[in-house]
């Protein structure tokens, strides 16, 4: 994992990232990863990565630096256009992977989809009686839900089921052959259709995803923007992606913001004045208290009026729970979040960089004190992007001694 924090106001955007990288499926963590890059040498645009550090086995660092060379001096009017151009760059370069690798990653996703459906099917009432039917029911429900969705990934709008089967028939059959409950001969169509409609839907979170955070300015934008894209896999010139967080600093709307990614709990705790998980605790606790009080009142009046007691038992206390939770949320926002955001709006560039770096470092400290794996740590890279000065490194680690490698900087500036 990782943590990335963007701090935006009308002056600039500061962005910071840690260096921890988890190696494969092991628990080994190396604190040498690069997650923050300039997207252009000539425009005020940057990019940060979290989640999977590669796109189907090709490191994002390699892809980003290749795109930066491809972009050269070209500039766009809006940050969204840089994002669109970058995604098209991936498609045009076959996602920097061969058709064999693309199919292999598609096969892994199909296999993951089967295991997700099987695990959900185990919670169905009929699983103990007929597990195969329970899985079929889960697949059918999944298919119907996704088939009716209007939120389809752009690249799959014109992609039909027959084209998908022509491409992925062998991969689907391979997954079914490993299954002990489904068979190729009897269940190919229901499984393939269910996955196909799952494949196309935008908001679904998928395993092995990479998060890309684009920050900066287009030529026509006077205030900074932040745009998050989450990418899973690509095949046949089609990219499976969805949009996440989007922040535009304006005069009329959002004038300042702190936006965390990946490991967000610590930063959100500071922004909101309370750990986000506490809202669930507040809701559950208030619900239990109200239900206990309802039962106590009902028991007390039942002695004299059974009908009134029955009516008390029928009262829906969930509405009161919701009112209580929302009231607490609003009060925390007014007392903690609003003053913090107002202060962020007044900060200068160096202070914004300090805030971004401090939030990443604090997340690392919290992880260090917890019994869990330290998935955030190492040196913190920090950059500030402003309209006038462009992309400026505040802190950046090197795998070499800069004073011994002046040719690197000469080549970088002359390239």
- pLDDT digits 0-9 by tens, 282-332: 888 888 888 888 888 888 888 888 888 888 888 888 888 888 888 888 888
Residues 239 and 169 in one domain: no
Residue 337 covered by a domain: no
Last residue of a domain, one of 180, 200, 220: 200
Give the residue-averaged pLDDT of 9-28: 85
Residues 255 and 396 in one domain: yes
Residue 348 covered by a domain: no
Residue 398 covered by a domain: yes
Q: Where are the beta strands (DSSP E) in 74-168?
A: none
- pLDDT digits 0-9 by tens, 243-252: 999 999 999 9
Mean pLDDT, the chain, as a whole number? 92
Residue 363 covered by a domain: no
Instruction: Identify whether the C-beta of residue 50 lies closer than 8 Å to the C-beta of residue 83.
Output: no
Residues 168 and 133 in one domain: yes
Instruction: Identify whether the C-beta of residue 332 lies closer than 8 Å to the C-beta of residue 324.
Output: no
Residues 161 and 230 in one domain: no
Instruction: Identify whether the C-beta of residue 49 lies closer than 8 Å to the C-beta of residue 212.
Output: yes
Residues 135 and 174 in one domain: yes
Q: Where are the beta strands (DSSP E) in 347-396?
A: 381-386, 390-395
Residue 140 covered by a domain: yes
Residues 123 and 195 in one domain: yes
Q: How much is the pLDDT for 24? A: 64
**Strand 381-386's sheet: what is its strand order?**
257-262, 3-8, 12-17, 381-386, 390-395
Residues 184 and 222 in one domain: no
Last residue of a domain, one of 157, 180, 200: 200
How many domains, in total, are found in the chain? Answer: 2
Q: How confident is the model at residue 26 (pLDDT cuts 50, 70, 90)?
A: low
Angle between helices 277-302 and 318-332 (to 10 degrees): 140
Residue carrying the six token digits 């990443």: 360
Residue 338 covered by a domain: no
Residues 388 and 258 in one domain: yes
Residue 374 reports pLDDT greater than 80: no
- pLDDT digits 0-9 by tens, 148-157: 999 999 999 9
Instruction: Identify whether the C-beta of residue 3 lies closer than 8 Å to the C-beta of residue 376.
Output: yes
> How far is 118 from 252, CA to CA, in rounded Å?
49
DSSP 42-74: SSSEEEEEEE-SEETTEEHHHHHHHHHHHHTT-
Q: How much is the pLDDT for 406? A: 82
Residues 71 and 122 in one domain: no
Residues 104 and 92 in one domain: no
Q: H or E element: which one contains 308?
A: helix 306-314
> How far is 266 from 371, CA to CA, in rounded Å?
16
Q: Report the sign of the C-alpha dihedral through residues 235, 238, 244, 249, in that order.
A: positive
The CATH number that applies at residue 43 is 3.60.20
Q: How much is the pLDDT for 358? A: 97
Tokens of 47: 């990019």
> How far is 184 from 56, CA to CA, in rounded Å?
27
Residues 177 and 252 in one domain: no
Residue 297 covered by a domain: no
Last residue of a domain, one of 200, 220, 254: 200
Residue 139 covered by a domain: yes
Structural domain of 218: 3-97+206-264+374-414
Residues 90 and 111 in one domain: no
């Amino acid at each position: 994992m990782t943590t990335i924090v963007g701090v935006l106001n009308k002056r600039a955007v500061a962005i910071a990232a840690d260096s921890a990288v988890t190696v494969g499926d092991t628990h080994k963590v190396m604190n040498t990863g690069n997650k923050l890059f300039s997207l252009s040498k000539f425009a005020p645009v940057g990019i940060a990565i979290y989640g999977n550090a590669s796109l189907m086995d090709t490191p994002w660092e390699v892809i980003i630096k290749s795109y930066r060379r491809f972009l050269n001096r070209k500039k766009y009017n809006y940050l969204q256009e840089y994002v669109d151009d970058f995604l098209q760059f991936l498609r045009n370069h076959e996602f920097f992977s061969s058709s064999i690798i693309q199919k292999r990653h598609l096969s892994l996703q199909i296999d993951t989809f089967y295991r997700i459906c099987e695990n959900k099917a185990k919670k169905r009432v009929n699983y103990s009686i007929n597990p195969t039917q329970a899985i079929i029911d889960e697949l059918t429900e999944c298919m119907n839900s996704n088939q009716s969705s209007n939120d389809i990934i752009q690249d799959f709008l014109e992609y039909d089921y027959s084209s998908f089967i022509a491409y992925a028939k062998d991969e689907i059959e391979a997954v079914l052959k490993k299954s002990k409950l489904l068979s190729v001969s009897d269940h190919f169509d229901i499984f393939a259709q269910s996955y196909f409609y799952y494949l196309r839907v935008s908001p679904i979170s998928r395993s092995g995803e990479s998060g890309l955070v684009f920050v900066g300015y287009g030529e026509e934008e006077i205030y900074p923007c932040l745009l998050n894209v989450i990418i899973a896999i690509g095949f046949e010139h089609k990219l499976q992606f969805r949009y996440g967080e989007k922040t535009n600093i304006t005069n009329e709307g959002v004038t300042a913001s702190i936006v965390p990614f990946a490991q967000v709990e610590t930063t959100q705790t500071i922004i909101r004045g309370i750990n986000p998980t506490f809202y669930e605790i507040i809701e559950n606790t208030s619900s239990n208290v109200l239900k206990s009080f309802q039962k106590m009142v009902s028991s007390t009046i039942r002695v004299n009026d059974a009908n009134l007691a029955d009516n008390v038992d029928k009262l829906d206390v969930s509405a009161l729970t919701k009112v209580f939770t929302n009231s607490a949320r609003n009060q925390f926002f007014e007392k903690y979040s609003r003053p913090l955001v107002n202060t962020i709006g007044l900060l200068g560039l160096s202070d914004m960089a300090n805030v971004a770096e401090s939030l990443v470092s604090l997340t690392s400290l919290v992880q260090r004190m917890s019994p869990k794996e330290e998935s955030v740590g190492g040196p913190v890279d920090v950059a500030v992007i402003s309209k006038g000065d462009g992309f400026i490194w505040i802190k950046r680690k090197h795998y070499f001694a800069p004073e011994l490698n002046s040719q690197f900087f000469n080549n970088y500036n002359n390239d």
